[in-house]
Structure 1
Amino acid sequence: MFRFFESRIDPFPATEPEAPPKTLLGFVAHYTRPVWPWLITLSVLTAILSVFEVVFLGFLGTLVDWLAAADRETLFEEHGAGLIAMAAFILIGFPLLVLFNSLITHQTIFGNFPMLARWLTHRYVLDQSMSFFQDEFAGRVSQKVMQTALAVRETVMKVLDIFVYVAVYFVGALVLVGGAEPFLMIPLVMWLAGYIWLLVHFIPRLRDISMKQADARAEMTGRVVDSYTNIQTIKLFAHARREEGYAREAMSGFMGTVYKQMRLVTGLYTLLQTLNAVLLVAVTASTIIAWQMGLVGLGVVAVAVAIVMRIRAMSDWILWETAGLFEAVGTIQDGINTIAQEQAIRDVPDAKPLAVSQGAIRFDNIAFHYGKESGVIEGLNLDIAPGEKVGLVGRSGVGKSTLVNLLLRFYELEGGRIIIDGQDISQVTQDSLRRQIGMVTQDTSLLHRSIRDNIAYGSADADDAAVMEAARRAQADAFIPDLSDIDGRTGYDAHVGERGVKLSGGQRQRIAIARILLKDAPILVLDEATSALDSEVEAAIQDQLYQLMEGKTVIAIAHRLSTIAMLDRLVVMEGGRIIEQGSHDALLAQDGVYAQLWKRQSGGFLNVDADWTVAAK
């Protein structure tokens, strides 16, 4: 039975996630669409239960009248059928309704609904561009994905609950009391007017402060996560106290919103309890006076007082539900600002997979400025033949890494085209493009998973034998058997910590190289791929990299010119343009910028500031 109701909603639909609307109602409706049939069913059941409560209170009044007027000897003869019917419904019908209501609430909706929203938002956010993640804290984004999903569920369910209870219960109570004597409805109507005023006055203020609180909470979490993520840097610079101040600033901002919120809560709660006390006195006095005047029986007095007590309890519930509703609304509106951002880089309609048969690359008059008016890359043309090995040379900031990022389509070109084997990369799917390019960067980041998982990330079909062979070729098999983690996992099963923090820079680099060896893509990009390795390991891995380069088109970036001098062609960049190109020997023969750089190297490294300035003059 539980499994049946738990499987009514698929929390992980395979359909591609769509961009959510930026309006509150549109955003909520977008993630609620698959759940609506069950929400409507739940609302109907809630309405039935509310009607039953009102009917039961009415029956209590009738029972009091029966007991006041009936003879003890003949009570069951006269009213036994009614008593048995009500008892049967209370013992059988009511529990069944509650069971069905609970199964839909807790098994069908409660867990599946927010997970569905998380799944869709997570998949949508994963497809955001690199610039999106560079502008946000990872902890901030993840918290908004988690919080917003819960807030969507809370918003929808609270609205439905409040609407059903107010529409059914309060109206039923008015009918029940007014049916006995119309003027008894006056205290209830006046109380309702006062209650609505409280909601109108306080709830928008609670909503506004809740929005600020959600943003402050995300900021606080983002700063704490940022500190933990960069704990090595903090330790190296002995800035634990500085980080305390950085976190405390955000925490103090969050507490400021909490204090303002709690002041509103205290005022609201005090006024509500005063209003409820007035209602209790007014209704009790009115019904007693009506009974004294002979207008109503004792049953009406009992029912009216019972209804007031129920309304008092219900008013507290509705108030906090409404306050929680607007808090959830504030969280959603804050989440919309992040989650509903349009994806800067999207596949064009009917984009085809990239087919790489040779590996020819053409940068055709490309321009890119990171959104600025000028700079970085302007009017660059570069043709790379199939299987050609090209090295990019130049100081930091001249556009080498930007060129590679544009090839991977991490950013959209602002002018020109990049073509691979005759196919414009803006017209093919991003996934297929990146599957055809293997890249090893200087700043290697590993997943907080096992060594095996990190290496196998290069190929979804890789078995253990392939993983171990890639590790051997990358000279990583020497240290992997000695690895262990806090949970006792060893070797290839050991987890590497967040971003691979438990490994040394050289070990991370060798795992990254093993991953690329396993990927075996036809286009290879090396961005300071061996910079974190010592000379002995680098020499060993260089042989494997040379083997890996065979039959591939290669773009290599290195400040240590000796590591790329043997490539087919070297391209010297300055100011986003190509100023020299040719083989190592040809460039030395030209006695130009490259030749001057080669002469001025110290230990094989390019002095990216002073040497470049001298050479460029």
Structure 2
Amino acid sequence: KRRFDQANRDLTGTFLFVNRVAVMMMPATTLLMNGLTVLILWVGAHQVAQATMRIGDMMAFIQYAMQVFFSFTMLSVLFILLPRVDIAAHRVADVLETEASIRDPEEPVPLPEPLTPTIEFRDVSFRYPGAEEYVLRDITFTVRAGETVGIIGTTGSGKSTLINLIPRFYDVTEGEIRISGVDIRQVRLKDLRDCIGYVPQQSNLFSGTIASNLRFADEDAPEERLMKALEVAQGHDIILSRAGDDGRSPLEAEVAQHGANFSGGQKQRLTIARALVKQPSIYIFDDCFSSLDYRTDRQLRRALREYVGGSTVIIVSQRVATIKDADWILVLDEGCIVGQGTHEELMATCDIYREIALSQLKVVVAQD
């Protein structure tokens, strides 16, 4: 805390000094420029009066003097900006030269074909690089192929961190994670991530069209699959509202950068549809139903269960209503598993889950 306070004080002092200098530069520059102009006019007027200089020569001299003066002014500004540019360039270079900590194994092991999408956590503990405290501790559970598993817990309990370990956004500190019996650290990243459809909390759309965004998951996906994915994600109304009168497919509707021309719920449904287009063996939904109303949420989950078939589904959510129909639910608190079972079992045995459920389900009933 003291180091942070000192760094802030140093930064504040530096900014105040730089701004004071910058504030003084403008009036000083104006004063010098006007003073130079007056001096040239004073000397030039005497020269004109003595018929040793023409008025046109004096005006030209003033223009040349102003150009030279402005050049020196811009040069001084350049010297002020140069240290900033140098620091920024070094930071960019540091990023470009940083080596990825998550790498392919030297002797990769292929995932079995056909893939049985079982996920097994064995005594997994994790802490972020440079941190002293563990975010997850002694996590052990197995998700069988074709199961739908819900993960819920208090804020900061490690839910998102837990599922980020599956596609190897981070590597476990202790223990191991296995998919279809193979340690994921022994699998090539491309092979591992090809079998996972991941939907993050933050909806990310790119400038282009609805079709081009959905085909980020599979460039060769036919239009029928795109429409089916949108239907399952309850996004049919999105393309119908964007359909034009020019005869083009509604999938060719424009998407602005970051999906600025869509609402939060529409962006989430399009992001979910993009994962469905991929048709992976494992689906991971990281609290991506939060912008949906309860009715749309329920309809989406019902359609999703029919669509995914034998794929394994993991849903992280703060809503009990979103996960209560899962095959089983994992409850986290402060990085540890404090409950595991169906909704009914956890209501009877897990205090944390029961407290969360009772605070939410009344609201859900009222909204339904």
- The structure carrying a bigger helix percent of its residues is 1
Q: Of 211, 231, 234, which aligns to 1:475? A: 234
State the alpha-carbon separation in 1 of the partners of residues 255 and 155 from structure 2. 30
2:259 & 2:174 partners in 1: Cα distance? 37
Deviations 1:31-86 (A, max 9, x none): xxxxxxxxxxxxxxxxxxxxxxxxxxxxxxxxxxxxxxxxxxxxxxxxxxxxxxxx
Deviations 1:206-235 (A, max 9, x none): xx999734345669xxxxxxxxxxxxxxxx
Offset at residue 591 of structure 1 (A): 5.6
- Partner residue in 2 for 1:338: 95
- Aligned twin of 1:212: 83
Taking the aligned partners of 2:350 and 2:339, their CA distance within structure 1 comes to 11
1:363 touches 1:383 (CA, 8 Å); kept in 2?
yes
State the secondary structure of the residue aligned to 2:202: coil
Q: Structure 1 residues 406, 388: closer, same or farther in 2, change over 3 A?
A: same
Structure 2 matches for 1:550-589, cutoff 5 A? 550-589=309-348
Q: Given that residues 561 and 604 in structure 1 are in contact (C-alpha distance below 8 angstroms), is that contact kept between their aligned partners in structure 2? A: no
| Offset at residue 483 of structure 1 (A) | 2.7
Amino acid at match of 1:466: R
2:288 equivalent in structure 1? 529
Instruction: Name the CA distance, whole Å, in 2 between partners of 1:556 and 1:449.
Output: 29
Question: 1:464 aligns to what?
Answer: 223
Match of 1:425 in 2: 184
- Are 2:123 and 1:365 aligned? yes
Corresponding residue for residue 58 of structure 2: none
The equivalent position to 1:350 in structure 2, one of 97, 107, 117, is 107
Residue 402 (structure 1) aligned with residue 142 (structure 2): no
Q: TM-score, normalised by structure 1?
A: 0.43
Give the direction of change, closer, same or farther, for the CA distance of 1:374–1:217 in structure 2 (3 Å limit). closer
**Alignment of 1:520 onto 2:279:** yes
Alignment-mate amino acid for residue 228 of structure 2: E
Q: How does 1:378-397 map to 2 (within 5 A)?
A: 378-397=137-156
Q: Classify the secondary structure of the residue corresponding to 2:128.
A: coil
Q: Distance in 2 between matches of 1:549 and 1:585?
A: 24
- Alpha carbon RMSD of aligned pairs, Å? 2.8
Mapped to 1, the partners of 2:356 and 2:232 lie a distance apart of 33
Classify 1:582/1:341 alpha carbon distance in 2 versus 1 (closer, same or farther; 3 Å).
same
Measured after TM superposition, the shift of residue 598 of structure 1 is 2.1
- SS of equivalent to 1:392: strand
1:547 to 287, 302, 306: 306
Report the equivalent of 1:311: none
Q: From 187, 195, 199, give the equivalent of 1:436.
A: 195
Distance 2:132 2:87 in 1: 34
User: Structure 1, unaligned stretches of length 5 or more?
Assistant: 1-207, 220-333, 606-617
Separation in 2, partners of 1:209, 1:354: 56
- Separation in 2, partners of 1:478, 1:335: 43
Q: Which residue of 2 aligns with 1:507?
A: 266
The one-letter amino acid paired with 1:398 is S
Distance 1:415 1:441, change over 3 A: same
What's the counterpart of residue 193 of structure 1?
none
> Are 1:481 and 1:492, in contact at CA under 8 Å, matched by a contact in 2?
no
Alpha-carbon distance in 2 for matches of 1:336, 1:211? 16
Inter-CA distance 343–563: structure 2 relative to 1 (3 Å threshold): same
Looking at structure 2, the residues matched to 218 and 446 of structure 1 have their Cα atoms a distance apart, in angstroms, of 29
Q: Find out whether 1:449 has 2:208 as its counterpart.
A: yes
How far off is 1:491 after superposition?
3.0
Percent pairwise identity: 33
1:339 and 1:484 map into 2 onto residues whose CA distance is 42
CA contact (8 A) 1:449 1:497 kept: yes
TM-score normalised to the size of structure 2?
0.70
Contact in 1 for aligned 2:297/2:322 (Cα 8 Å): no
C-alpha separation in 1, matches of 2:123 and 2:100: 25
Matches of 1:349 and 1:543 in 2, distance apart?
Answer: 42
The structure with more radius of gyration: 1
Q: Deviations over 1:576-613 (max 9, x none)?
A: 111111111112232633223322336458xxxxxxxx
Aligned residue runs from structure 1 range 99-248, under 5 A: 212-215=83-86
Q: Structure 1 CA distance, aligned partners of 2:363 and 2:159?
A: 19
Structure showing the higher strand proportion among its residues = 2
